[in-house]
């Protein structure tokens, strides 16, 4: 582990700038920082998650222009380069979950890839989990470094950090910094223990198997009773990635636009024929829960939720996914 | 400002205003060619969303004209339209779209000269306002 | 009051008079009084009520059309029920109205965000909201954090009910100072404010879904033929979305304020809906939701309707 006094962050900022943009935590969203002071963000949970850096709310995919009888296409791939500084473990894990979906195998998404492959994640331990956080439920915690390229912890007025991946180690190598002091590392361990224990861990043992047998349960009606069917939870969720692709037409040209979409909307699986496999909200609710806690584990051996609690905070009617998970767990099933 | 030739979406009801425009034409009365006419059966057919969309798509102004109250070919269409136009115009001006971009009129089938007068009036007003900057979709 | 609500609900369910009771329960978030559907006598024990109950429960009525429903309704809720009845969406004899006079609801989201820290406990006493955080105790005035529609509410008491819980309260006297203040501003300034607010929108449609009046199965914003509003976040699309929604609310919106209260981004919407409500009252003597027999505002006309703006 290396150390750098917070007063000296300017050097880190310079090093990060050489990679491209430097995103930092601002109150509402991750935004690019111009000054080194901005690296010292006091925001612990950014409202809009980091997924929007890789999967923007809207992005043009290609443009088409008509010239007489000819139509030409122009690919529009917006790349990203740089470092996200201060991303907490929950968000970093969320990015790794998105990577599973967008970067693997035949389904590789070139738009996501071009934005993801040149962006480093400089994670910082989360020092202020709030009452909604339940990240430890998913096998990691506020001090987990595994999903980042470089991981750091702010201990008093010093930033301790180390490279995790090859790219991260490269960045650290080029910095002229000292090794962390013994007592600082001790303090880090104490902080890690104390803060990790603060997070309320849920017991969701066996939930995936249970859900797999609950397709026809009556629980879905009850769970979705007060749900309005808006898309707030899916928008702010760091692992949700549903999108819509529509063509925007102009007289002689147009473009294909990808925008965020939500599985809670009626239109979600409405087919061109008019048939909708999920016509009622309760089916869409079932789908959402199954996706995160059954289908994702089947596909990728990982839950599709990182326990950040944003959905709880933004829900207009305060639907709490923790309560729902417990209800599912306790629901009797007649086999 | 001399070069600014606004494009004014003009929606005319078939039975009165459009006929009035026809009369202006056959009587060889000149009126500005800035107006782009769309014929509808009745002013009551006009959905306020047309106006919002047209403005957003870049039209410089919108002018809707129908029959005088009491003269509607469908008896009551223009009465319903009157309420809709009132709410729409007021709301758009309230949020700060310039006054003078949206116009409504009653012009009857026999008022060829009046049609030309109103067309001229509307065009002049819009010319004075200049090109549109607010609420136009650029991409 | 809470005891009485539970008592009534319990009796209704026991006697089979209703299938579900639409009320509120304490939520897991601080300052949250969330909608709750009680289906059994045990669940009735969870029913509570407080000025943090921001969601207008009438929104849930159309989805329970096949059941007999009891609903906890304050003034604006009963107005919404009237509009839904007049538009043929629900039937009066299928709902049992538990009327509850209302002193106003709090801007819970805004208040929660302004506190900034973790809130451990909240109570309301003597016109003050006392908020205990992990470090201190903050006191704010109830009146300062009232939803703007509630501040000037003329219909706090349910317009009709099958049973009334609590004492009727005095209306606050109406008025639209918020609209008037905005109107006085210069045209460009008004556009600046409007555009700034609309730009915050993320098209989550929480406002639309929480509104009792937005029950359309196919909303215009999802329409592709014709494409009224394009997908994406261009400012003009966000502005069109809200402008047209307000137009669709004209004469139907009951000014409950739920839309603005639930918006996750805090987009101001009431300055638009209340402007139309004020104009309809002032120029057409029309107030929505007072009479379920009366046709909707755009569904009728008078020969002497205001028309001086027409050339």
Confidence band of C103 (pLDDT split at 50, 70, 90): very high
**A194: CB partners within 8 A, 6+ apart:** none
- Taking Cα atoms as reference points, which of A243, A284, A240 lies closest to residue A265? A284
Cβ-based neighbours of C193, under 8 Å, separated by 6 or more: B96, C182, C185
For the segment B67-80, what is each residue's pLDDT rounded down to a tens digit?
999 999 999 999 99
The Cα–Cα gap between B9 and B101 comes to: 10
Task: For the beta carbon of residue A265, count every other beta carbon within 10 angstroms.
Answer: 22
Establish how many alpha carbons lie within 13 A of residue C84's alpha carbon, considering only the half-sphere containing its beta carbon. 27
DSSP string, C139-182: EEETGGGB-HHHHT-S--S-SS-SEE-S----------HHHHHH
Q: What are A286-295's contacts with CB under 8 Å, separation 24+?
A: A286/A215, A286/A220, A287/A263, A288/A234, A288/A263, A288/A264, A289/A211, A289/A223, A289/A324, A289/A328, A290/A211, A291/A263, A292/A239, A293/A204, A293/A207, A293/A208, A293/A211, A293/A325, A294/A208, A294/A211, A294/A212
State both tokens at C4: 């009485």
Pairing verdict, β A119-124 and A178-179:
unpaired
Rounded to whole angstroms, the Cα distance separating C80 from C307 reads 29
Domain boundaries, given as residue ranges, for chain B: 8-129
- Structural tokens at position B20: 């009035």
Residue C174 has pLDDT above 90, yes or no: no
Residue by residue, pLDDT tens for chain A (335 residues) are: 999 999 888 888 989 999 999 999 998 999 999 888 888 888 889 999 999 999 999 999 999 999 989 999 999 888 999 999 999 999 999 999 999 999 987 889 999 999 999 999 999 999 999 999 999 999 999 999 999 999 999 998 999 999 999 999 999 998 888 998 999 999 999 999 999 999 999 999 999 999 999 999 999 999 999 999 999 999 999 999 999 999 998 889 999 999 999 999 999 999 989 899 999 999 999 999 999 999 999 999 999 999 999 999 999 999 999 999 999 999 887 65
Say if CB C170 and CB C153 are below 8 A apart. Answer: no
Q: Which residue has the tokens 């009465």?
A: B79
A241 in helix, strand or coil?
coil
* CA angle in degrees (0–180, nearest 5) for A31-A32-A35: 125
Contact in structure between C217 and C246 (CB atoms under 8 Å): no
Residues C205 and C186: their CA atoms lie apart, in Å, by 30
Instruction: Say if residue C253's pLDDT is above 90.
Output: yes
Categorize the per-residue pLDDT at C252 as very low, low, confident or very high, splitting at 50, 70 and 90. Answer: very high
Confidence of residue B61 (pLDDT cuts 50, 70, 90): very high
Cα–Cα distance for residue pair A57/A68, rounded to 1 Å = 33
Tell me how far apart the terminal alpha carbons of chain B are, to the nearest angstrom.
25
- The C-alpha of C100 sits at a distance from chain B's nearest C-alpha, in angstroms, of 33
Question: Pairing relation of β-strands C119-125 and C33-38?
Answer: unpaired
pLDDT in the model for residue A334: 64
Interface of C with A in 107-136 (CB under 8 A): 118
- Rounded CA-CA distance A48/B109 in Å is 58
A interface test, pick of C204, C214, C218, C258 with most A CB neighbours within 10 Å: C204
Q: Are A151 and A161 in contact (CB under 8 A)?
A: yes
Instruction: Give the alpha-carbon dihedral of C100, C104, C105, C107, to 10 degrees.
Output: 170
Q: How far apart are alpha carbons A172 and A268 in whole angstroms?
A: 45
Residue C34 has its nearest CB partner, among A231, A267, A318, at: A318
Among C182, C188, C311, the residue with its CB nearest the CB of B105 is: C311
Residue A9 is predicted with a pLDDT of: 87
Cβ separation B53–C220 shorter than 8 A: no
Q: Residue C236: its chain B contacts at CB < 8 A?
A: 56, 135-137
Q: Do B79 and C311 touch (CB under 8 A)?
A: no
Cα distance from C214 to chain A (closest Cα, Å)?
11
What's the whole-number mean pLDDT along residues B23-48?
Answer: 95
CB-count exposure of residue A295 (10 Å: 0-12, 13-18, 19+): middle
- Residue in the block written with tokens 């319990």: C10
Q: What are phi and psi of A84, to 5 degrees?
A: -95, 115
Distance of CA C301 to the CA centre of its chain: 27
pLDDT at site A335: 53
Give all chains having 3 or more CB-to-CB distances under 8 Å with chain A: C
How would DSSP label each residue in A143-206?
T--TTSSEEEEEETTEEEEEE-SHHHHHHHHTS--EEPPHHHHHHHHHHHHHHHHHS-----TT
Average pLDDT of span C249-277: 95
Task: Tally helices (H) and strands (E) across chain A.
Answer: 13, 12
Q: At what angle do helices B77-94 and B48-57 cross, to 10 degrees?
A: 40
Note the pLDDT of residue A21: 94
Q: How confident is the model at residue C285 (pLDDT cuts 50, 70, 90)?
A: very high
List residues bridging with C124 in a β-sheet: C129
Q: Mark yes or no for CB contact C234/B137 under 8 Å.
A: yes
- Number of C-alpha atoms within 13 angstroms, CB side, residue A280? 11
> CA-to-CA distance for A143 and A153, rounded, in angstroms?
8
- Check pLDDT > 70 for residue C284: yes
User: Which chains does chain B touch, 3 or more C-beta pairs < 8 A?
Assistant: C
Q: How far apart are CA C201 and CA A119, in angstroms?
A: 27
Q: Answer whether residue C134 shows pLDDT above 90.
A: no
Cβ C301–B139 below 8 Å, yes or no?
A: no
Q: With a CB-CB cutoff of 8 Å, which residues 153-182 of chain C face chain B?
A: 182
Collapsed DSSP state (helix, strand, coil) of residue C36: strand
Q: Residue C203 CA to chain centroid, in angstroms?
A: 19
Q: Is B129 on the interface with C (CB under 8 A)?
A: no
pLDDT of residue C117: 84
For residue A230, list chain C residues with Cβ-Cβ distance below 8 A.
204-206, 208-210
Q: Is C187 on the interface with B (CB under 8 A)?
A: yes
Q: Is C62 near chain A, with CB under 8 Å?
A: no
At residue C228, φ and ψ (nearest 5 deg) are: -70, -45
C59/A228 touch (CB, cutoff 8 Å), yes or no: yes
Facing residue for C232 by CB, picked from A222, A257, A312? A257
B106 neighbourhood in chain C, CB within 8 Å: 310-311
The C-alpha of C64 sits at a distance from chain A's nearest C-alpha, in angstroms, of: 10
Beta-carbon neighbour count of residue A10 at 10 Å? Answer: 13
Residue B99 to residue C191: CA distance in whole angstroms: 12
DSSP state of C69: E
Looking at chain B, the whole-number percentage of residues with pLDDT higher than 90 is 91
Architecture of the domain whose range is B8-129: 3-Layer(aba) Sandwich (3.40)
At B77-112, the pLDDT tens digits run 999 999 999 999 999 999 999 888 999 999 999 999
* pLDDT tens readout for residues C21-65: 999 999 999 999 999 999 999 999 999 999 999 999 999 999 998
Which residues share a beta bridge with C133?
C119
What is the Cα Rg of chain B in Å? 15
- Residue A20 at interface with chain C, using a CB cutoff of 8 Å: no
* Closest chain B residue to the Cα of C196, Cα to Cα: B95
Chain C hits for B122, Cβ within 8 Å: 311
Residues in contact with C65: Cβ distance below 8 Å, sequence separation at least 6, in sequence order: C90, C94
Report the DSSP beta bridge partners of residue A153: A160
The full set of domain ranges for chain C reads: 2-107+146-299, 108-145
In whole angstroms, what is the distance from residue A140 CA to residue A80 CA?
28
Domain edges within chain A: 2-198, 207-330
Whole-number Å distance between alpha carbons of A42 and C69: 48
Closest by alpha carbon to B6, among B134, B133, B124?
B124
Structure tokens at A205: 């043992």
In b/e form, how buried is each residue of A24-36, taking b as 16+ CB within 10 angstroms?
Answer: bbbeeebbebeeb
Residue C35 confidence (pLDDT): 96
């Amino acid at each position: 582990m290396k150390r750098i006094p917070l007063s000296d962050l300017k050097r880190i900022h310079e090093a990060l700038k050489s990679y491209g943009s430097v995103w930092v935590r601002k109150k509402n969203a991750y935004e690019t920082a111009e000054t080194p002071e901005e690296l010292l963000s006091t925001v612990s949970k950014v409202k809009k998650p980091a997924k929007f850096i890789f999967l923007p709310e809207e992005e043009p995919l290609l443009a088409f222009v008509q010239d007489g009888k000819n139509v030409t296409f122009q690919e529009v791939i917006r790349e990203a380069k740089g470092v996200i500084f201060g991303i907490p473990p929950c968000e970093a894990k969320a990015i790794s979950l998105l990577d599973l979906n967008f970067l693997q195998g035949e389904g590789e998404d070139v738009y996501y890839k071009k934005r993801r492959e040149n962006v480093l994640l400089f994670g910082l331990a989360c020092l202020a989990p709030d009452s909604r956080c339940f990240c430890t439920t998913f096998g990691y915690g506020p001090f987990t470094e595994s999903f980042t390229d470089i991981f750091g912890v702010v201990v008093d007025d010093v930033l301790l950090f180390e490279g995790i991946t090859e790219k991260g180690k490269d960045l650290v190598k080029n910095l002229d910094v000292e090794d962390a002091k013994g007592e600082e590392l001790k303090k880090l361990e104490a902080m890690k223990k104390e803060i990790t224990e603060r997070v309320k861990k849920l017991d969701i043992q066996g939930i995936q198997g249970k859900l797999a047998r609950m397709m026809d349960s009556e629980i879905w009606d009850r769970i979705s009773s007060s749900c309005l069917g808006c898309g707030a939870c899916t928008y702010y969720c760091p692992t949700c990635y549903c999108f819509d692709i529509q063509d925007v037409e102009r007289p002689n040209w147009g473009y294909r636009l990808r925008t965020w979409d939500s599985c809670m909307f009626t239109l979600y699986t409405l087919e061109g024929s008019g048939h909708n496999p999920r016509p009622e909200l309760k089916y869409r609710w079932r789908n959402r829960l199954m996706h995160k806690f059954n289908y994702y584990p089947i596909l990728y051996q990982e839950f599709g939720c990182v326990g950040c609690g944003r959905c709880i905070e933004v829900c207009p009617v305060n639907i709490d996914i923790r309560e729902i998970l417990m209800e599912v767990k306790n629901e009797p099933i007649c086999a | 400002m001399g070069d600014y030739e606004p494009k004014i979406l003009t929606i005319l009801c078939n039975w009165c205003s459009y006929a009035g425009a026809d009369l202006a034409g056959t009587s060889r009365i000149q009126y500005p060619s800035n107006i782009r006419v769309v014929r509808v059966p009745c002013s009551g057919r006009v959905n306020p969303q047309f106006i919002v969309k047209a403005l957003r798509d870049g039209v410089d102004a919108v002018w809707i004209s129908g029959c005088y109250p009491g003269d509607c070919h469908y008896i009551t269409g223009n009465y319903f339209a009157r309420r809709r136009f009132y709410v729409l115009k007021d709301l758009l001006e309230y949020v700060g779209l310039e006054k003078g971009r949206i116009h409504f009129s009653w012009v009857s089938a026999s008022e060829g000269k009046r049609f030309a007068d109103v067309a001229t009036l509307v065009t002049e007003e819009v010319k004075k306002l200049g090109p549109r900057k607010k609420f136009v979709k650029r991409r | 009051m809470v005891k009485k609500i539970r008592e009534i609900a319990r009796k209704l369910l026991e006697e089979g008079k209703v299938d579900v009771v639409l009320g509120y329960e304490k939520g897991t978030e601080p300052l949250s009084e969330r909608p709750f559907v009680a289906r059994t006598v045990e669940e009735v024990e969870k029913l509570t009520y407080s000025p943090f109950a921001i969601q207008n429960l009438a929104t849930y009525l159309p989805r329970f059309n096949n059941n007999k429903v009891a609903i906890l309704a304050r003034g604006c809720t009963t107005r919404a029920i009237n509009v839904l009845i007049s538009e043929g969406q629900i039937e009066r004899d299928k709902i049992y109205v538990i009327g509850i006079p209302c002193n106003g609801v709090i801007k819970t989201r805004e208040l929660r965000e302004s506190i900034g820290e973790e809130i451990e406990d909240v109570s309301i006493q003597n016109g003050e909201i006392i908020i205990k955080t992990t470090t201190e105790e903050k006191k704010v005035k109830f009146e300062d954090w009232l939803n703007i529609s509630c501040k000037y509410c003329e219909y706090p008491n349910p317009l009709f009910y099958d049973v009334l819980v609590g004492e009727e309260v005095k209306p606050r006297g109406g008025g639209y100072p918020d609209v008037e203040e905005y109107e006085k501003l210069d045209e460009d300034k008004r556009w600046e404010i409007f555009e700034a607010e609309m730009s915050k929108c993320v098209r989550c449609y929480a406002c639309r879904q929480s509104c009792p009046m937005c029950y359309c199965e196919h909303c215009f914003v999802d329409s592709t033929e014709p494409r009224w509003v394009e997908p994406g976040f261009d400012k003009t699309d966000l502005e069109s979305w809200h402008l047209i929604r307000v137009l669709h609310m004209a004469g139907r919106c009951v000014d409950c304020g739920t839309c603005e209260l639930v918006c996750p981004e805090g987009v101001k919407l009431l300055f638009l809906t209340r402007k139309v409500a004020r104009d309809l009252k002032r120029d057409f003597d029309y107030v929505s939701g007072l009479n379920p027999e009366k046709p909707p505002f755009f569904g009728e006309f008078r020969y002497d309707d205001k028309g001086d703006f027409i050339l």
